[in-house]
Amino acid sequence: MNLVKSKWLAFASAAILAAASVVAHADKEMKPFILGSTGSGDVASKAADVKKSLESNGFEIAGDYSPYEGAHIIVVTNDALKKAAKTHDRGGYIAPERVAITKVGDEVQVSYTNPEYMAAAYHVKGDMAKVKSALAAALGSVKEFGPDEGLSADDLEGYHYTFGMEYFDEPYELASYSSQKEAVDAVAKGLAAGAGGTTMVYRIDIPGSKQTVFGVGMSAKDTGNKYMDEKFIMSEIDFKPVRSTAHLPYEILVTDGNVEALHARFRIAMDFPDLSMMGANSFMNIMPTPDAIKESLTKAAGGEVESDI
């Protein structure tokens, strides 16, 4: 049996216990996404309005793209997010804040990642309440959403989906270079060339640190491998009435010459912690995805693809 398949199957029963173990801690429970607003209209017009509002509330537009029809994602940052990124040697993941405009039926949903949730998951420190307030001022704040039950900061700091699955500090090691500049240049070159079916969505350099984070779009158009394709992945995991489109795009982090990305079994699970292991709309339906994503990101980073991928 395929090693990856056996690993997923081995943990199927354990996943039931993991789902039951989400217990309320003394600190508040949080969810990964925030619904800013809903309304009528079209995605393009709403995206233009959202950009203006974000900039008016102190955010810098780092990049944007449309991963598939009916979805547009805007990535922003600000000084508070960049400052928080420097509080952990791999904290660059907090620098981008992802905002999504999604057409669901006749409704246009504006949503964004919850900075307090992400800060806990990425082990960084900083006043994310102010960032959250600025986002609410720009986009509105109807409710936090995602899993049926939220996770506390304590849950997130030690989060993994279930026994044997990867933690935050177990990323993909994509490539290594002799200097930060060489590594950053290699990733930028790979993304510009579309290596592994990737595209560059944004680049954020963290001032005062040797960290640069890239946003990476992924499409099967050139690879023929649907398991790394964002549209396919989201069709399997993002099925609730309020969409979690702001899960995208994925990140590549360059730190002091080392190129990494969060393991997909962590990256997907932290945004979809109540996704079932088996059945319809489950991890089992995207079982090859972690390896497919690793292969694409490794090619983009100029690294060596392992023979068992």
Please report, for residues 65, 89, 255, 261, 275, the alpha-carbon distance to residue 214 in angstroms, rounded to integers and kept in the order given.
13, 16, 12, 10, 26
- In this predicted structure, what is the pLDDT of residue 10? 43
How much is the pLDDT for 139?
Answer: 98
Mean pLDDT of 179-201: 98
Count other Cβ atoms within 10 Å, centred on residue 279: 9
Helices (H), the chain: 3-10, 12-20, 43-56, 79-85, 115-121, 128-139, 153-157, 180-192, 230-237, 264-271, 289-301
The range of the structural domain enclosing residue 116 comes to: 3-301
Note whether residue 307 is domain-resident. Answer: no
> Confidence class of residue 2 from pLDDT cuts 50, 70 and 90?
low
Is 127 within a domain?
Answer: yes
| More reliable by pLDDT, 243 or 27 | 243
Q: Does the pLDDT at position 309 exceed 80?
A: no
Residue 98 lies in a domain: yes
Does 124 fall in a domain?
A: yes
Give the per-residue pLDDT at 307: 60
Q: What is the pTM of this model?
A: 0.90
- Per-residue pLDDT, averaged over 13-34, amounts to 59
306 lies in a domain?
no
Please tell me the total count of domains within the chain. Answer: 1
Residue 26 has pLDDT above 80, yes or no: no
Say which CATH number the domain at 220 has.
3.30.310.70
Q: How far is CA 114 from CA 57, 98, 120, 144, in A?
A: 17, 9, 10, 8
In a domain, 226, yes or no: yes
309 inside domain: no
In a domain, 135, yes or no: yes
- Give pLDDT tens digits for 88-125: 999 999 999 999 999 999 999 999 999 999 999 999 99
